[in-house]
Structure 1
Amino acid sequence: MMKKRMKQIAACMIAATMVAGLAGCGGNKDGNSSSGGGSGDKITLHFSFDQGVGEPTQKIVDKFNESQDKIQVETVLLPQDANQVHDDFVNKLASGDTSVDIMGLDVVYVSEFASAGWLMDLTDKVDTSTMLEGPVAGATYDGKLVAAPWFTNSSVLFYRTDVLEALGAEVPTTWEGWMELADKAVGTNGIEYGADFQAAQAEALVTNWVEYVWGNGGDILDEDGNPVVNSENNIEATNIMKTLVDEYAPEGVTTYTETESEQVFKEGKCLFIRDWSGFWSSGQDEGSKVTGKIAATKLPTGPSGEESHTCLGGLDLVVNNAISDEQKEAAIEFINYMTSAETQKEMTLISSQPPVVKDVYTDTEILEEIPFYADFYDIIMTGKSRPMSPQYAKVSDAIQRNIHQALTGEAEVEDALNTLQSEIEELNSEK
């Protein structure tokens, strides 16, 4: 009990530091009655998320509170660290703690939390008809909507427009086409390398590798959740990635996360970079040698693939299944506010976080502020979630280790995928 209480106190201290005037953090343990702090007879909801989206989210929450006469939402900020946020939520929900009603949950943990019975069923309570299909699929577990997509993100292939113009080349749509172009591009306008991406033994590697797999007609798990990672399509896809590592990327690419890969591209040394959508603006910051020379396109396909798919990120809104029916009803009203087209547009304008509501991408005001969305919309429409596994953290670790060994040459590609297949089969048997 003392250990859990200390974690609650720590969470309160973070929230109090980041948001001036925050009231009632962790104070209303049963979460079922209206609290003080000037909320009167209002139902109080505690909404917890990481401080990375703290300032824009607080503005939206404040606006919601001003419009309300029956609900008061109080925010509880956590560190901008996905693992710490995950552990904080697990500690609370596993113990039946109701001090938090609504959580901003990383999309990769939805299956884990839903399989444990911690999340409220939101089916028919949240309108998803206006949303991108990929985030909705990632918020669905065992046929039920267990999370409300809040905002999303996906990867993009950014390339050097000046180099393609100098070579008189069209934008390739296959990995083979990009390799052929890279062979011609070296030496043109400062290009030293064809490819740039993230291949360090980290979550970034998982998000990269699944895209090669999907783009070559493969997958990680089948419809029943069984692993299919050592298929011929996946072996071929992984060999494509290894060829890029060995022959087209900077020597240190197997140590690169986003920061390292972005730096090399901004130095003007690479033909293309696979990165998250936010690089559209950060890649053209002051000091970048490629400002005004970047365009975006879909990820390429492999020889056995017909369509590429970008990997989705982002946060979902989930409701603590242990809170009272009254709290749940209020939480649904708040979530529908947060996922409405009007609020999604406002959040996008103040945070630049990619929305989940489709119409926001074609809104005139949005396109004036973020013209990149004109190209990005078609890209994110192909988005898919990482493997929907209740044991995602362990699946991710297995992918990271085995694929990294394949890319560095510590293991043959086929051997690494066979080992990965066995490891995920073993994880499935532990259910």
Structure 2
Amino acid sequence: MKLKLGTFILAAALTPFCAQAVTLKIACGGGIDDLCKQSAAEWAKKTGNVVEVVPTPSDSSALLALYQQILGSGSDKIDVFEIDVVWPGTLANHLVDLRPYSKGAEAQHFPSLIANNTVAGKLVAMPWFTDAGLLYYRKDLLDKYKLKPPTTWDDLAASAKKIQDAERGAGNEKMWGYVWQGRAYEGLSCNALEWVASYNGGTLVDASGKVTIDNPAATKALEMAAGWVGTITPQAVLNYGEEEARGVFQSGNAVYMRNWPYAWSLLQKSDSPVRDKVGVIPLPQGGANGRHAGTLGGWELAVSRYSKNQKLAADLVTYLTSAEVQKMRAIQGSYNPTIPTLYKDNDVVKANPFMAALYTTFTTAVSRPSTVTSTKYNQVSSQFWNASHDVLSGDQKAGDALSDLQSSLGALQSGGSWK
């Protein structure tokens, strides 16, 4: 079934030369349409061109399917695409190398994002806004029990159990220590990658394309998480996505929560039971020798190789991803910048006090192996989240699940190559 696309037209003020104006089409979705329209209109006014903003599906799977349909046909229907951080490898063959047009602007962004968006030496997308997994915690409860925010997973488990049991004893039988995303979907891949990476267990597939998931550190990480289920984490977490976890935490029934930055503004709404009671820090490290590891998320802007106006489209992308526009989006919409210096900007920090604490998290964010596994990433991730879910649910032991996963991922490769 083909999806119909509506358009919103943003045009520069009419001039005697308006017949010379070029019309560009950009796909903006994911709840950021208003800010995209605003900035695109500014670019149109500056350059004397026209921008048509094409609304897209909010569901990422439907969005990717639509993009593949359009790009696979070689259509010039859209010049600029908003793409998920895990799609550069999947869509790279249809996208323009932006380095000849960027004038070095990529140097301003987080290196991990530029590396993520570079496929076979070509910069196929520019970072637009970013995400990373974070730990939310109840400041009031930690203060009540004279506990410090956890730095390791063992610290988290111990304090979560202590507060959970005490609060239940005081009458809140619904209290849990820790909620996260445990449903068998991409969100679980993000959580599980964080656990594995925090114990220095790698990222499933390394930068050279070698499958590395079957190792003692990864096994320990999954065994740890499985031990939470039914103790500090409800059994129902096996069906939780982001919003289910947030619902429990925001209702006041969890001490800790793993989620993305978007949750902050919702937790601070005037009708939120936990308003002004929440802190946010990097996710714990896997023991004294481990590391803090938040999975990299976010969205990028890319130019279609089928665009008839590639240079102009690249100029639009450069403008939309500039420090000027990113600062506006951070202040008006709490979208996390991809430019490190903005995390020290007084206006940005004033509007979003938590962002200053995110700087280290983003500079050390862990990328999913989407670029190296290219078009097979969805299969890789699906196998990873299913294996992880089997361990969490008790259907399989961690060592056996990862051994099987190592073999099945190896079988996905064609002669040792992911292409």
- Shared fold by TM > 0.5? yes
1:39 and 1:347 mapped to 2: Cα distance? 29
**1:144 has 2:122 as partner:** yes
- Per the TM alignment, residue 111 of structure 1 is displaced from its structure 2 partner at its CA by 0.6
Contact 2:23 2:51 in 1 (8 A): yes
**1:49 has 2:49 as partner:** no
Q: Deviations over 1:328-367 (max 9, x none)?
A: 1111211111121111111222322111111222111112
2:408 and 2:19 mapped to 1: Cα distance? 54
- Per the TM alignment, residue 384 of structure 1 is displaced from its structure 2 partner at its CA by 2.2
1:76 and 1:201 mapped to 2: Cα distance? 31
Map 1:240-389 to 2 at 5 A. 240-303=224-287, 305-324=289-308, 327-388=309-370, 389=373
SS of match in other structure, 2:98: coil
Q: Which moved more, 1:77-86 or 1:177-186?
A: 177-186
SS of match in other structure, 1:218: coil
1:367 and 1:352 mapped to 2: Cα distance? 10
SS of match in other structure, 1:353: coil
Figure out how many residues of one structure are paired with residues of the other and give that number.
400
1:87 and 1:296 mapped to 2: Cα distance? 35
**1:90 has 2:75 as partner:** no
**Equivalent residue letter for 1:375:** A
1:125 and 1:241 mapped to 2: Cα distance? 45
**1:11 has 2:11 as partner:** no
1:241 and 1:187 mapped to 2: Cα distance? 19
Contact 2:94 2:306 in 1 (8 A): yes
- Per the TM alignment, residue 186 of structure 1 is displaced from its structure 2 partner at its CA by 2.2
SS of match in other structure, 1:355: coil
Q: Deviations over 1:354-395 (max 9, x none)?
A: 111112221111122111112222222221221122111111
Runs of 4+ in 1 over 6 A off after TM superposition: none
Matched residue, 2:176: 193
Aligned counterpart in structure 2 of residue 394 of structure 1, from 354, 379, 390: 379
**1:419 has 2:411 as partner:** no
Matched residue, 2:14: none
Identity %: 28
- Per the TM alignment, residue 402 of structure 1 is displaced from its structure 2 partner at its CA by 1.4
Contact 1:103 1:317 in 2 (8 A): yes
**Equivalent residue letter for 1:87:** A
1:343 and 1:425 mapped to 2: Cα distance? 43
Contact 1:311 1:386 in 2 (8 A): yes
- Per the TM alignment, residue 87 of structure 1 is displaced from its structure 2 partner at its CA by 0.9
Matched residue, 1:30: none
SS of match in other structure, 2:19: coil
Matched residue, 1:158: 136
Contact 1:128 1:136 in 2 (8 A): yes
1:226 and 1:72 mapped to 2: Cα distance? 46
1:53 and 1:360 mapped to 2: Cα distance? 19
1:428 and 1:90 mapped to 2: Cα distance? 22
Contact 2:131 2:296 in 1 (8 A): yes
**1:107 has 2:85 as partner:** yes
- Per the TM alignment, residue 188 of structure 1 is displaced from its structure 2 partner at its CA by 4.0
1:47 and 1:425 mapped to 2: Cα distance? 38
SS of match in other structure, 2:54: strand
1:304 and 1:185 mapped to 2: Cα distance? 23
- Per the TM alignment, residue 289 of structure 1 is displaced from its structure 2 partner at its CA by 2.5
SS of match in other structure, 1:285: coil
Matched residue, 2:98: 122
Which runs of 5 or more residues in structure 2 are unaligned? 12-16
Contact 1:196 1:249 in 2 (8 A): yes
**1:216 has 2:199 as partner:** yes
**Equivalent residue letter for 1:316:** E
SS of match in other structure, 1:230: coil
Normalised to the residue count of structure 2, the TM-score between the two structures is 0.90
**1:225 has 2:209 as partner:** yes
**Equivalent residue letter for 1:364:** N
SS of match in other structure, 1:186: helix
2:146 and 2:76 mapped to 1: Cα distance? 61
2:122 and 2:183 mapped to 1: Cα distance? 35
Matched residue, 2:56: 78
**1:64 has 2:46 as partner:** no
Matched residue, 1:32: none
Normalised to the residue count of structure 1, the TM-score between the two structures is 0.88
Matched residue, 2:390: 405
